[in-house]
Amino acid sequence: MSTNVLFDAPGPKARVRNRVYGVLASVAILGLIAFVLHRLDVTGQFQHGLWDTYQYNDTQERIVEGLLTTLKTFAIAAALSLALGALLATGRLSDHRPVRWAATVLVEFFRAMPLLIMIFLLYAAIFTTEPMWALVIGLTLYNGSVQAEIFRSGIKALPKGQSEAAYAIGLRKTQVMTGILVPQAVRSMLPSIISQLVVTLKDTSLGFIILYEELLFVGKSFAQQQVPVGGVYPFIPMVIVFGSIYILLCLALSGIANWIERRTKRSRKGAPPAPPVPVELGNAAGAGPAA
Partner 1 sequence: MNVLTDHFAEFREGFLNTVELTVLSALLALVLGTLIAAFRVSPVPALRVFGTTWVTLLRNTPLVLLFLAVTLGLPALGLKGWDSFWLAVLALGCYTSAFICEAIRSGINTVPMGQAEAARSIGMTFGQTLSQVVLPQALRTAIPPIGSLMIALTKNTAIASGFNVAELGALQKQLNGDEGYNIYVIFLWIAICYLIITFVISGLFRLLESRMAVAR
**Does residue 285 touch partner 1 according to CB under 8 A?**
no
Let me know if 71 is exposed, middle or buried by CB neighbors in 10 A (0-12, 13-18, 19+). middle
Closest CA to 202 of 252, 127, 134: 252
DSSP string, 150-218: HHHHHHHTS-HHHHHHHHHTT--HHHIIIIIIHHHHHHHHHHHHHHHHHHHHHHGGGGGTTT--SHHHH
**Does residue 76 touch partner 1 according to CB under 8 A?**
no
**Does residue 71 touch partner 1 according to CB under 8 A?**
no
List the x/- string, 16-55, binding to partner 1 by CB under 8 A.
Answer: --x--xxx-xx--x-----xx--xx-xx-x----------
Which residues, 6+ apart, have CB-to-CB distance to 236 below 8 Å?
Answer: 40, 45
Which CB atom, from 54 or from 235, has the smaller least distance to partner 1? 235
List the x/- string, 172-201, binding to partner 1 by CB under 8 A.
Answer: --------------------------x---
Which CB atom, from 76 or from 99, has the smaller least distance to partner 1? 76
Q: Which helix (H) or strand (E) holds 136?
A: helix 131-156
Instruction: Determine contact, residues 179/88, Cβ cutoff 8 Å.
Output: no
Which CB atom, from 177 or from 191, has the smaller least distance to partner 1? 191
Which CB atom, from 83 or from 248, has the smaller least distance to partner 1? 248
List the x/- string, 102-141, binding to partner 1 by CB under 8 A.
Answer: ----------xxxxxx--xx--xx----------------
Whole-number Å distance between alpha carbons of 44 and 198: 34
CB atoms within 10 A of CB 32: 10
DSSP state of 285: T
Residues forming the site for partner 1 (CB under 8 A): 1-3, 5-8, 10, 14, 18, 21-23, 25-26, 29, 35-36, 39-40, 42-43, 45, 112-117, 120-121, 124-125, 198, 202-206, 208-209, 216, 220, 235-236, 239, 242-243, 246-247, 250-251, 254
